[in-house]
Amino acid sequence: MKVRFDIKRYNPEVDEHPHFEKYDVELEETDRVLDGLNEIRWRIDGTFALRRSCEHGICGSDAMRINGTNRLACKTLIKDVGEDVRVEPLIGFPVVKDLVVDQERFFAHYRSVLPFLINDEPPPARERLQSPKERARFDDTTKCILCGACTTACPSAWADEKFVGPAAIVQAHRFIFDSRDRGSAERLARLSGRNGAWGCRTIFNCTRACPRGIEVTKAIAEVKRSLIMGSSEERSS
Amino acid sequence: MRPRIELHERDAIVVGGGGAGLAAAGYLAKHQNLQTAVISKLYPTRSHTGTAQGGIGASLGNIDPEGDSWEWHMFDTVKGGDYLADQDGVEVLCREAVEMVYELEHMGLPFSRTPDGRIAQRRFGGHTRDFGEAPVRRSCYAADRTGHMILQTFYQQCIKHNVEFYDEYLAVDVIMDGGRCRGVLALEIHSGDLHLFHAKAVLFATGGFGRMFEITSNAVTLTGDGPALLWRRGVPLQDMEFFQFHPTGIYKLGILITEGVRGEGGVLRNNEGERFMERYAPNMKDLASRDVVARAIHSELRAGRGIDGKGYVNLDATNLGAEIIEKRLPDIADFTRTYLGIDPVTVPIPVQPTAHYAMGGIPTDLHGRVLLDAKGSVAEGLYAAGECACVSVHGANRLGTNSLLDLVVFGRRAGLHMAQYAAGADIGDLPPEPEAEAAALLSRIRNNNKGGGERAATIRDEMQAIMTKDVSVFRTAEQLGEARAKISELRVRYKDVRIDDKGKIFNLDLMEAFELGCLLDCAHATVSSAENRTESRGAHYREDYPDRDDNEWLKHTLAYLKADDRVEFDYKPVSITRFEPKERVY
Ligand SMILES: Cc1cc2nc3c(=O)[nH]c(=O)nc-3n(C[C@H](O)[C@H](O)[C@H](O)COP(=O)(O)OP(=O)(O)OC[C@H]3O[C@@H](n4cnc5c(N)ncnc54)[C@H](O)[C@@H]3O)c2cc1C
Ligand code: SF4
Ligand code: FES
């Protein structure tokens, strides 16, 4: 079938302003949107730039706005979006070129929540024990691929660049609720202000946008609860 | 005109931010007096290690009452590799596996757990107890996201230790001065500027090159840049004829369905519903090694027993039940639901073999030092680890779960050795005009205005088609000769490749054309080495030479690129310490 792509293009070397360009591509219903974008790049217009790698929803490279919603181009099939596909870069980050955005701020926020296990106790000779129940407590947030779809769908993040955004809180959650971690107090301190978890207004855009099916808003709510109750109580519950 | 170029000086540079690169960087970073940086063409967490599903092998023996031992693991690995693996290396791999997996756990890796809180383990192809008696649970896993967790965990450690990253920098040349490495040249993708990293030691950890093939589990960015850059500088490539075809890729797409599905009890069936692996491997059945299962599938397809006469068989996981699938294989379920619209709980998955893993690559010793010849001369300051390297611990066929293990064991060893080397070495002078060749290559691609040139995609499509047709699970002299001629033709046509994008900023067109050049190098080495090896061993199966020939071929291939585009061969003996070669049956 013929699919018409309408793509927001911007090349700072030649364009003063972004503009839309249309491309017609012959595709199957079961093809990915990314297949269409590749066809355009490989056979019609090689100047068109995007990020992509794994092509099956794991590396987090190709989050973009597809018909107005944040999605991974490699995890969105043509049959899900129809014959007219409008593609734009994620909102809220400076555009480098076409669909490529500068994610430095996103990763700086991510790094700010201390996204690594903190535990200075000498480890045992074998593995630390963790029950399946304790492991399940933070399973959902281990799935995050840092694609940025949530944070760039969040009005609070659009409104305030200092708000760490849902993805960073998801990453913090992954450690706060890990029974092996001892750094929650430090981490929660960083999330206690309006730029942290309280920046969330429970709009749920993040949860809808997440291609990994993470319950982002729920994770943020759990972090908020820990802020109120103190980390240890919440964790042991 | 000389292009704009920025100069950096570091003690050690790691090229590649996948599992192998980050493992090395993490250990390097512990030496605070050394200045280390990682350059990666992808943001590190986008690396393909993140897609690894099934697990990492280590003989923890957490589940089976018979326990497990590193000697069994070693035997399985040697046998799986059809006796071509270097046994001194395999011993290191399997012994250090245990402490490395515990170390990963201590770093925070969220493994799945047994009821008593230990690291969960599952069965995987070719992994047995008592030297081949029966399957063993050795694969340590985190659901079917083990690679994601490893990549995340290593990256987290790098953040913790303040590792310096140059993200989205494409290495385009290695700077050699005689037999010594002086640094690496890279293209900053965002700006289009060149950067010269002058360093005492450089590690290549650039991953695989499955994109030589049309049907593959590998990312579009797995283009063999590391092996190609070194090959052009006189380093040989080892055992390139051995490329693994994983039995279960999603039909037509090539997306991997982990062996863990069979490890949990899934079985392969042909159009008659028969569990055909019982015929090919009576003991291990669906859990025989990958080369055996891939050949069995191809044989079934050739005999007309594909489903509906098409080019696939079924991977039947319907006996596992919803709970196991949702808990232990959630991503697999997500893939089949997303891309095929089928639920693996109730419907079998259509699969075909998919080009998966390069056993061959840059020859190294047990510390990741790159070797220049069969005598074992070391290229000082030059290291390689991960899939782009060939230690060789996988021999002619890798066992599942042994690559992630290879990354962490030899990534660490390389990192530790580099630290020690860099602490004692001086930085040495750069050769004159170190950027000249790569800059000329890039400018030739960018500025080709000749009418006759072709798009990279055209050449790439033809390469992938011939590789998938003629350099696949079954090979013959005739097919390989044809493929060699075709690859040579494409290499000539590539000299005139043309791109649309003449700009500097994020020029993906230029990058892909550059990567195609690397793939063509890997394909050249692969086809020539495959034609040269007139026996069948592991993943390299010659229909015209169906037997393994230990008298003639129990040796590693070293392929060198010569000036007139000829490939020249030399050979290296196999290290045999514990297990004498014998016939391989599963
Ligand atoms: C789908 C799939 C599932 C798998 N499952 C398993 C499993 O369950 N168990 C197992 O043991 N193995 C598994 N494997 C194999 C294993 O995952 C890979 O072999 C391994 O992850 C490779 O890691 P690496 O660090 O060598 O390379 P990669 O993770 O691919 O990283 C390569 C890095 O090099 C960088 N790079 C490449 N070229 C350049 C350049 N020119 N300049 C700068 N940077 C560059 C990239 O940006 C990237 O960061 C699987 C493989 C696949 C494809
Ligand atoms: S939480 Fe989901 S949407 Fe947000 S970065 Fe992680 S994977 Fe992407
Ligand atoms: S290309 Fe990796 S997530 Fe889409």
* pLDDT tens digit sequence for A99-154: 999 999 999 999 999 999 999 999 999 999 999 999 999 999 999 999 999 999 99
Instruction: Report how far residue B404's alpha carbon sits from residue B55's, in angstroms, rounded to the nearest whole number.
Output: 8
End-to-end, the C-alpha distance of chain A in Å comes to: 54
Instruction: Report how far residue B53's alpha carbon sits from residue A56's, in angstroms, rounded to the nearest whole number.
Output: 13
What local confidence, expressed as pLDDT, does residue B3 receive? 62
What local confidence, expressed as pLDDT, does residue B2 receive? 56
Greatest CA separation found in chain B?
Answer: 70
Q: How confident is the model at residue A229 (pLDDT cuts 50, 70, 90)?
A: confident
Task: Classify residue B120: in a domain, yes or no.
Answer: no
Beta bridge pairs of residue B369:
B383
Tokens encoding A197 = 């978890």
pLDDT in tens, B232-266: 999 999 999 999 999 999 999 999 999 999 999 99
Task: Classify residue B196: in a domain, yes or no.
Answer: no
Judge contact between B186 and B10, C-beta under 8 A: no
Interface test with B, best of A41, A44, A59 (most B CBs within 10 A): A59
What domain range is B443 assigned to? 436-548
Instruction: Report how far residue A40's alpha carbon sits from residue A36's, in angstroms, rounded to the nearest whole number.
Output: 6
- Catalytic (active site) residue B290: yes
Instruction: Report how far residue B231's alpha carbon sits from residue B226's, in angstroms, rounded to the nearest whole number.
Output: 8
Domain check: are A21 and A115 in the same one? no
Q: How confident is the model at residue A213 (pLDDT cuts 50, 70, 90)?
A: very high
Domain check: are A62 and A127 in the same one? no
Instruction: Report how far residue B111's alpha carbon sits from residue B324's, in angstroms, rounded to the nearest whole number.
Output: 16
CATH of the domain at B342: 3.90.700.10
The count of domains in chain B is: 2
Question: B297, B320, B355: which is the final residue of a domain?
Answer: B355
Domain check: are A78 and A181 in the same one? no
Beta-carbon contacts of B259 under 8 Å, excluding residues fewer than 6 positions away, are B54, B124, B125, B246, B247, B248, B287, B290, B400
Chain B neighbors of A43, CB-CB under 8 A: 455, 457
CATH of the domain at B485: 1.20.58.100
Domain check: are A132 and A227 in the same one? yes
Domain check: are A109 and A217 in the same one? yes
Tokens encoding B159 = 């953040």
Task: Classify residue B459: in a domain, yes or no.
Answer: yes
CB-defined site of ligand 1, < 6 Å = B 15-21, 39-42, 44, 47-49, 51-56, 146-147, 170-171, 205-208, 217-218, 222, 225, 256, 258, 357, 386-388, 400-404, 407
Judge contact between B516 and B524, C-beta under 8 A: no
What local confidence, expressed as pLDDT, does residue A237 receive? 40
Give the three-class secondary structure for B13.
Answer: strand
What domain range is A50 assigned to? 2-101
What dihedral do alpha carbons B498, B502, B507, B510 form, nearest 10°? 20
What local confidence, expressed as pLDDT, does residue B450 receive? 67
Instruction: Report how far residue B153's alpha carbon sits from residue B75's, in angstroms, rounded to the nearest whole number.
Output: 30
Nearest to A49 among B101, B253, B508 (CB): B508
Task: Classify residue B257: in a domain, yes or no.
Answer: yes
Q: Which amino acid type is present at position B35?
A: Q
Average per-residue pLDDT for chain B:
96
DSSP string, B214-269: SSBSS-TT---HHHHHHHHTT--EE-TT-EEEEEEEETTT--B--THHHHTT-EEE
Q: Which amino acid type is present at position B119?
A: I
CATH of the domain at A71: 3.10.20.30
Judge contact between B419 and B28, C-beta under 8 A: yes
Nearest to B148 by CA among B5, B45, B29, B22: B45
Nearest to A97 among B149, B156, B506 (CB): B506
Min Cα separation A58/chain B (Å) = 6
Domain check: are A108 and A69 in the same one? no
Place of tokens 């599938």: B297
pLDDT in tens, A89-102: 999 999 999 999 99
CA of B207 to the centre of ligand 1 (A): 4
Task: Classify residue B291: in a domain, yes or no.
Answer: yes
Domain check: are A95 and A205 in the same one? no
3-state SS record for B426-443: CCCCCCCCCCHHHHHHHH
Domain check: are B446 and B347 in the same one? no
Task: Classify residue B314: in a domain, yes or no.
Answer: yes
Q: Which amino acid type is present at position B61?
A: G
Domain check: are A91 and A140 in the same one? no
Start-end of H helices in chain A: 33-39, 78-81, 104-112, 132-137, 139-142, 155-159, 166-176, 184-191, 205-209, 216-229, 231-236
DSSP string, B339-367: II---TTTSPEEEEEEEEEES-BEEB-TT
Judge contact between A31 and B339, C-beta under 8 A: no
Report whether the peptide linkage leading into residue B69 is cis, meaning its omega lies within 30 degrees of zero: no
Tell whether B41 is within 8 A of chain A (Cβ): no
Question: A101, A129, A155: which is the final residue of a domain?
Answer: A101
Q: Report, in angstroms and rounded to the nearest whole number, the Rg of chain A calculated over CA atoms.
A: 20
Chain A neighbors of B510, CB-CB under 8 A: none
Task: Classify residue B132: in a domain, yes or no.
Answer: no
CA of B202 to the centre of ligand 1 (A): 18
Cα angle value B349/B353/B354 (rounded, 5°): 105
Tokens encoding A4 = 């018409």
Instruction: Report how far residue A9's alpha carbon sits from residue A19's, in angstroms, rounded to the nearest whole number.
Output: 5
Contact B46 A61 (CB under 8 A): yes
Cα angle value B192/B193/B199 (rounded, 5°): 130
Task: Classify residue B511: in a domain, yes or no.
Answer: yes
Judge contact between B513 and B444, C-beta under 8 A: no
For strands B362-363 and B389-390, give the pairing.
parallel
CA of B148 to the centre of ligand 1 (A): 11
Q: What are phi and psi of B311, to 5 degrees?
A: -85, 40
Cα angle value B384/B404/B28 (rounded, 5°): 50
The count of domains in chain A is: 2
What local confidence, expressed as pLDDT, does residue A136 receive? 97
Tell whether B334 is within 8 A of chain A (Cβ): yes
DSSP B120: P
Min Cα separation B275/chain A (Å) = 29
Instruction: Report how far residue B156's alpha carbon sits from residue B89's, in angstroms, rounded to the nearest whole number.
Output: 29
Cα B266 to Cα B18, B76, B125, B277, B343, distances in angstroms: 30, 21, 12, 12, 14
Question: A76, A101, A126: which is the final residue of a domain?
Answer: A101
Beta bridge pairs of residue B122:
B139
C-beta neighbour count of B67 within 10 angstroms: 13
Helix orientation angle between B402-424 and B146-160, rounded to the nearest 10 degrees: 20
Tokens encoding A94 = 């400076």
Global pTM?
0.97
Please name the residue of chain A whose CA is at the shortest distance from the CA of residue B255.
Answer: A56
What local confidence, expressed as pLDDT, does residue A234 receive? 46
Cα B324 to Cα A133, B55, B315, B319, B329, distances in angstroms: 16, 16, 16, 10, 7
What local confidence, expressed as pLDDT, does residue B4 receive? 75
Chain A neighbors of B331, CB-CB under 8 A: 58
Judge contact between B401 and B137, C-beta under 8 A: no
Tokens encoding B555 = 């040796």
Question: A101, A121, A150: which is the final residue of a domain?
Answer: A101
Q: What are phi and psi of A78, to 5 degrees?
A: -55, -40
Judge contact between B116 and A141, C-beta under 8 A: no
Judge contact between A112 and A190, C-beta under 8 A: yes
Tokens encoding B372 = 């220049």
Question: B355, B384, B406: which is the final residue of a domain?
Answer: B355
C-beta neighbour count of B104 within 10 angstroms: 26
Min Cα separation B109/chain A (Å) = 9
Instruction: Report how far residue B250's alpha carbon sits from residue B215's, in angstroms, rounded to the nearest whole number.
Output: 9
Place of tokens 């020029």: B507
Domain check: are A28 and A122 in the same one? no
CA B116 to chain centre: 34
Place of tokens 């994601």: B148
DSSP B333: H
Contact A175 B108 (CB under 8 A): yes
Contact A49 B108 (CB under 8 A): no
Mean pLDDT by 10 residues, chain B (586 residues): 82 98 95 93 98 96 97 98 98 98 98 98 96 96 97 98 97 96 98 97 98 98 98 98 98 95 96 97 94 97 96 97 94 96 97 98 98 98 98 97 98 97 95 95 88 90 97 98 98 96 96 98 98 98 98 98 97 98 93
Domain check: are A81 and A119 in the same one? no
| Burial per residue of A2-38, b for 16 or more beta-carbon CB atoms within 10 angstroms, e otherwise | ebebebbbbbeeeeeeeeeeebebebeeebbbbbbbb
CATH of the domain at A135: 1.10.1060.10
Judge contact between B535 and B553, C-beta under 8 A: yes
Domain check: are A69 and A111 in the same one? no
Beta-carbon contacts of A186 under 8 Å, excluding residues fewer than 6 positions away, are A114, A118
Decide: residue A65, CB within 10 A, 0-12 exposed, 13-18 middle, 19+ buried: buried
Please name the residue of chain A whose CA is at the shortest distance from the CA of residue B459.
Answer: A42
Contact B219 A139 (CB under 8 A): no
Domain check: are A128 and A232 in the same one? yes
Tokens encoding A66 = 């597809």
What local confidence, expressed as pLDDT, does residue A236 receive? 43
Cα A15 to Cα A51, A106, A225, B349, B456, distances in angstroms: 20, 26, 48, 47, 25
Judge contact between B474 and B541, C-beta under 8 A: yes
Instruction: Report how far residue B472's alpha carbon sits from residue B540's, in angstroms, rounded to the nearest whole number.
Output: 9
Instruction: Report how far residue B567's alpha carbon sits from residue B224's, in angstroms, rounded to the nearest whole number.
Output: 17
Judge contact between B322 and B333, C-beta under 8 A: no
Domain check: are B440 and B351 in the same one? no
Model confidence at A231: pLDDT above 70: no
